[in-house]
Amino acid sequence: MIKLDHISKRFGDIAALGDVSFEIPASQITIVAGADGAGKSTLFKIMVGLVKKDSGQIYFKGRDIGSDFSQITAHTGYMPERFSLYPDLSVEENLNFYADIRHVPHKQREERKHQLLEKTGMLPFKKRRAGALSGGMKQKLSLSSILLSAPEFIILDEPTTGVDPLSRLEFFNIIEDLKKEGKTIAISTPYLDEAERGDYIVFLKDGHVFKRDSIENLRQQFPAKLFRILPDGNIFDIMESVKKNSQLSESLYIRGKYIKYLQSGQESLLNLIPHREVEEEKPKLEDMYIYYERLAKKQRT
Amino acid sequence: MTENIIQVKNLTKQFGHFTAVNGINFNIKKGEILGFLGPNGAGKTTTIKMINGLLKISSGQILIKDMDSEKYRKQLKQIMGYMSQKFSLYPLLSSFENIEFFGGISGLSRKVIKEKQEEIKALIDTAILMQKTSDIPPGIRQKVSLFVCLLTDPEIIFLDEPTSGVDPEVRRDFWFEIYHLKKMGKTILVSTHNLDEVEYADRMLIIHRGNLLMEGEPDRLLKEYGKNSIDDLFKEAILSEDKQHSEVTR
């Protein structure tokens, strides 16, 4: 659907994006994963023409759009990180307002509103003031607002940041429904657990893509074995004690009460870690993020 | 003094007709890490702010080292450190200037402030410390925030969602810092949305709609409720409270 080719952007001394390239495949969920300050929002803003890129090309459906962003925006619903709802208007009034500014024909309006409210479970709250909604509900209303014009491409900038784990799950259920309807979705998030529900992923850090692929490929081609270790003793003390062995400590990290060990070569260093239990595990995206991020760091130095 | 450095008794906070915290009771033991969980708007930050004296209590009582938190607010303020959500440093000031500013309002002498500014140089590159904090990487900003929170060498430390929005690697590094503080004998309360992190805590609390739903050691709670992960435990707590709530309002 969209192809980004060598996009760079600087803000004064700060390189916000450095030579970013990737494609957003049609009718799939593409995840842009990274921490605060990775460049996720800048990237999305460049895609809809809100921030000017310094260099690089953007292709929409195979055509170089040049500087004519209306080729993208006419088909796109973009939800920025802080989407402005009108707190004094009701849920329905907010939807009416966005329907007006997106020129949604009056004939279709009632039906679409009803569908969206139903899909997001917001129907009982139609008359409630937007200001009185919970964080999760506000996000659902914001999403409904941008869906009113039935865009084929949907860009969601950190819709779930700071939203509690349960509401995040619910939000992603809606996203998966949208995919089933054939929509193309690009979504940025700092949470790698929900990223598992995407099709394609771009890992972004300090404005650079350090890994991108379909999530299926990543899972199949992950080059390391992963072990989950229940340490025999305090987890922090044990991590501290193995620090001297740099080969070992480079392949270890903690998650909850477990130490994770990424074995890249043939030689296993498991016995150097005082443990009570060891179990091999299927790597998750968070494990892959850490693996590829450390690899990229190593290659830089 | 009892082993409980903080005792929260029947604590309630009302904002107009809205009850943000609804008569909760819990203790914080000296030297422990207490994990604090709950959805957005559950009352976590409100509770923290009542304990550290930033918000007035509507009813109930908080004892810190057996002293009433409102009566001895001034003295107690000296022994508590608070790192707020999104770590509020002044974005237009450099890290050095932030230390000077926060040191100043905490009553540190010029000499001590200078010492602290020297101390942080051992942790972070001086060039970065001279930049506006809005321009430095979030992981380093977080370190500076923690440093600022510890300026007065507090005994009790409140960390309100210190790891939201940070890199998985940085998030882990931060927990080593927290554990280091525990080893120094500090008492630490940490709220978080990253549920796996609660396993590093000695004990945990789950609150929702201002009510305390669960309290105890993570392992013990998992066993008690027959759950495999904190995620499942959290879901169970929240959904059962939601169900009760809808029955009551019906």
Flag whether A77 is in a domain: yes
User: Backbone phi, then psi, for B189, in 5-degree steps?
Assistant: -110, 125
Interface of B with A in 170-209 (CB under 8 A): 170, 172, 175-176, 179, 193, 195-200
Residues on chain A touching B230 (C-beta within 8 angstroms): 256
Mutate to test the interface with A, among B15, B36, B167 (most CBs of A within 10 A): B167
- Pairing, β B187-191 against β B156-160: parallel
How does pLDDT run across B15-64, given as a tens digit for each residue?
A: 998 999 999 999 999 999 999 998 878 899 999 999 999 999 999 999 99
Inform me whether the C-beta atom of residue A190 falls under 8 Å from chain B C-beta atoms.
Answer: yes
Q: Give the range among A117-121, A135-139, B187-191 with minimum mean pLDDT.
A: A135-139
Q: Give the range among A133-137, A209-213, B69-73, B220-224 with minimum mean pLDDT.
A: A133-137
ipTM of this predicted structure: 0.81
pLDDT at B166: 82
Residues A131 and A272 in one domain: no
pLDDT at B246: 74
Flag whether A100 is in a domain: yes
How many beta carbons lie within 10 A of that of residue A171, not counting itself? 20
Residues A212 and A234 in one domain: no
CA distance B235 to chain A (A): 7
Mean pLDDT of A249-274: 90
Q: Give the range among A243-247, B142-146, B187-191 with minimum mean pLDDT.
A: A243-247
**Are A190 and B41 within 8 A, CB to CB?**
no
A151 pLDDT band, cuts 50/70/90, is: very high
A164 has a pLDDT exceeding 80: no
B247 has a pLDDT exceeding 80: no
Provide the domain limits for residue A256: 223-282
Residue A133 C-alpha from the chain's centroid: 24
pLDDT at A287: 95
pLDDT, chain A, mean = 93
**Are B231 and A165 within 8 A, CB to CB?**
yes
Smallest CA–CA distance from B219 into chain A, residue: A257
**Are B164 and A286 within 8 A, CB to CB?**
no
Q: Give the range among A56-70, A105-119, B158-172 with minimum mean pLDDT.
A: B158-172
Flag whether A62 is in a domain: yes
B249 has a pLDDT exceeding 70: no
Residues A210 and A239 in one domain: no
- Superfamily of chain region B1-79+202-250: P-loop containing nucleotide triphosphate hydrolases (3.40.50.300)
Residues A47 and A129 in one domain: yes
CA distance A255 to chain B (A): 7
Q: How far apart are CA A282 and CA A66, in angstroms?
A: 43
A69 has a pLDDT exceeding 80: yes
Mean pLDDT of A192-215: 95
B137 pLDDT band, cuts 50/70/90, is: confident
Give residue limits of the domains in chain B. 1-79+202-250
Nearest to B168 among A134, A136, A290 (CB): A290
B2 pLDDT band, cuts 50/70/90, is: low
Flag whether A294 is in a domain: no
B99 has a pLDDT exceeding 80: yes
B1 has a pLDDT exceeding 70: no
Q: How far apart are CA A31 and CA A218, in angstroms?
A: 13
Per the model's pLDDT, the better-predicted residue between B169 and B154 turns out to be B154
Of A266, A301, A296, the C-alpha closest to A34 is: A296
Flag whether A119 is in a domain: yes
How many separate domains does chain A show?
2
Residues A272 and A175 in one domain: no
Amino acid of residue B175: W
Which residues make Cβ contacts (< 8 Å) with residue A109, sequence separation at least 6?
A96, A99, A148
**A–B CB contacts, 8 A cutoff, strictly below:** 81
Inform me whether the C-beta atom of residue B23 falls under 8 Å from chain A C-beta atoms.
Answer: no
Residues A39 and A89 in one domain: yes
Nearest to B40 among A35, A134, A192 (CB): A134
pLDDT at A269: 87
Flag whether A161 is in a domain: yes
- 3-state SS class at A229: strand
A178 has a pLDDT exceeding 70: yes
Residues A239 and A170 in one domain: no
pLDDT at B108: 92
Residues A214 and A274 in one domain: no
Q: Give the range among A55-59, A159-163, A205-209, A275-279 with minimum mean pLDDT.
A: A159-163
B250 pLDDT band, cuts 50/70/90, is: low
Kindly report the CA angle at A173 between A168 and A178, in degrees rounded to 5? 125
B183 has a pLDDT exceeding 90: yes
Residues A145 and A191 in one domain: yes
pLDDT at B169: 87
How does pLDDT run across A90-101, given as a tens digit for each residue?
A: 999 999 999 999
pLDDT at B88: 80
A46 pLDDT band, cuts 50/70/90, is: very high
Mean pLDDT of A40-48: 95
pLDDT at B87: 66
pLDDT at B240: 86
Q: Which residues of A256-274 are buried (b: 16+ CB within 10 A; e: fewer)?
A: bbbbbbbeeeeeebeeebe
